[in-house]
Structure 1
Amino acid sequence: MKALIKRATAIAGAAGLLVTGAGTATAGEGLAWRDCYDGLACAEIRVPADWDHATGGDTVTVPLLKIPARDRKLGSLLVNPGGPARSIPNFAVPGYRDQFADLAARFDVVVFDPRGLDVTCPAPVPAALSVPLAKSAYDSYAAANAKFAADCATAMGGYRGHLGASQVAHDMDAIRASLGEQRLTYFGSSYGTVYGQAYAGLFGHRVGRMYLDSTLDHTRPDPVAWARAGAVTAERNLFRLAGWCAADAGCALHGRDVIAVWDRLLATPDAVTIVRWAAARIGDDRSWPALTAGLAQAEAGDTSAMAPRPGPPDARLARTAFCADFPDPDGFPALERVEDELRAAAPRVGWAVQPWRVSGHCSGLPRVGLNRPAALPPMPRVLVANGDDDPLTPAEHGRRVAAQLHGAYLPAAGNHALYLRGNACVRDHVHRFLWTGELPAPGARCGTSG
């Protein structure tokens, strides 16, 4: 750990030697804010493209947005709402920025978009592999992914091989310094928790307080162990769905044995279509009325609502950034083995929820600049909360990260993005922790609505 701290400190110091362009701050300088999005402020910071070789190389810019503190400012709170994706353009929508209003009561809320996610490639990313895996589809996808990466090499420029969370963590520390903060106060949700873990590993000594919501574990390299918890959670949600349907007369399958209906559908020729469609919805209780209505239609022989619909073309680098942090197992046999083990653990639907992350998602991409999962050092100034019923970032992920950091874990009934989706109990604990440093009492727990 001392070696990491020494290396990080040297790199951060070297960043001050960079030359900045007009209107863009260099790491170590103050930020040049400008008005944007009707009352908010925007800026950019220029940082080394490769923090491992911080002097004399390419530089890149990281976009920032600030919601100014309204009262009794405590400092700056750095925020990443997840993805990996751009979130700053979403602040044009009042309802989106309202989610952060309580945090801005006491902090300048500074949101950053991770490096490189505003790059547009010449062609869209290939459609992701679907389940169940097939060798021919895997081979075609790997070839298409390789072509996508090659075709985008010029557009990527200095970002090529430098999109992983370890590079982003250095960007975060440069932002901290440019904000004039001695310590980082951080709020990361969903994929933002991967950046938080990377920062804790490199700069834990500079953390003031850190809140990680819906934590995606970046400490476990075994893809089966990593994915199993989410698969099992999704499987459990199917049985929770059945219980809800039995109790709610508004459910389209009310009075029916939902599990028996599901099993009969799995024996039909449309089973794959049904599983894929349901797997995308089983993780959010709010989608259950539509999910059960779709299952009722499918039982009557109509699966038209479940047919895949093409979305808008995506020519950005979110998947490439994800694959820098979570590279798939190499080769089709290894991927097939993962799917087989998840089927054994969660045979009805859970196996189909998780494999998109470990089913060749990254096959064909260059294996460069990887930030592979690794254990974390203790850093107790952290609060972690995950939803009990969230298969995307399962509770086991949050408990594991909290234990490694020696932080506090707040269990909560619910699904994904607890704070941003308005869990009042979670929000109260988060505000108390970020404002005063007070952690939840041992044994504290939050319900679905708080």
Structure 2
Amino acid sequence: MIKKVQPGTKLSGTVTAPPDKSISHRSALFAALSREVSVIENFSEAADPQSTLNCLTLLGVEIDRNGRSVRIRGVGRDGFQTPLKPLDCGNSGTTMRLLSGIVAGAGIECRLTGDASLSSRTMKRIMDPLKQMGCTIDGKDGEYAPIHIGKNQGLRPLRYPLPIPSAQLKSCVLLAGLFSDDPVEVVEPIPSRDHTERLLELDSEAFGTAKVIRSSRSDVIPAQNYEVPGDFSAAAFWMVGGTIFPGAEIRISNTGMNPTRNAAYHILEQMGAEFERTNDRFAQKEPVSDLTVTSSALRAIELDPALVPNCIDELPVLMVAMCFAEGRSVISGASELRHKETDRLAAMHEILTLAGAKTELKEDGIIIYGNPDFEPLAARYPSFHDHRMAMASAILALRSKGSSEIVDAECTAISYPHFWQDLSALQEN
């Protein structure tokens, strides 16, 4: 699908961020591990979390879906069935990495597959610690899907320092640890998303400047009865859109504000963005707020590399904001962007260049020479079949004087099925 984006004359109104994808994945997986029945409200209808539900069904988990309400009858640690066909994770790296931890820890013989994009992403990072624990796991060329998992002879305790700040890697090891008689410890030097620890109520403690998180078979897995908050990563597109569009005012309701996820909010504030944050509350264990963003004069920023893990998914749209900031912005320490659905550093450099922005691509980041009066060229933007590239291009195109096109725009369904409808509504209000 090719989607035309007309710049329009206004951008205003209220949107509700779609259900959080990361929390939807985890709530379903943890509900399956529980021995209780869980009812999860506002579960994401995006393609990736639906892949997780499909895989759990193949593992013998009873799931009733009614729109955004999902009822899961947990089978406990020892109730998973050997699937009769491969577990298709689609485009979802979260599904493959977290589910690998569960089935490898449980010793379920199975095969995990994915689409072409997922099959090109390395899984060696999760395979190495799982093998150290005594799991049987292998993949194509030792690191790619399809992944083959076999029985194990019992898990060995492991103290695992995270080599990179990755919530998926951390979660994979901790989920496998739930099947170990002795505690498995993950040492986290740099914080990453903490949804797994929150939802499973895992034991953790400070370890110098790092944190140690533990899991074992002694952990009681709670039922997952709650309402999933709005996805901060999706809300970030409207945060930037409202900031760079003249005269804009956008209210984003029910936005998840987990402090290990919301660095982009503070980065935009540092750049000069103006937000009103109201109705702060908790959706069970997760902080939630309503945000109102208005057009703002932005200034350039040299992003602290320590913040990158906390805003890795928002970096593409932050690059769009930097195009309209006064001065030279620098992102470094972001080489992880090269290992997403596409090489997001190279992809954003191409997209910004098509728009006429002045940028310099680096091995681990990008330099952007911003201008508050920047007027993007009307262009035909490739999405690279990457949902975040498609949405970042759309926000950029809003400031163009002419009509732009987004190629393969349907890929936004991976995380935000109603993105194009919400964009149209904001332009029409």
* Shorter-chain TM-score range: under 0.3
Structure with the largest fraction of helix: 1
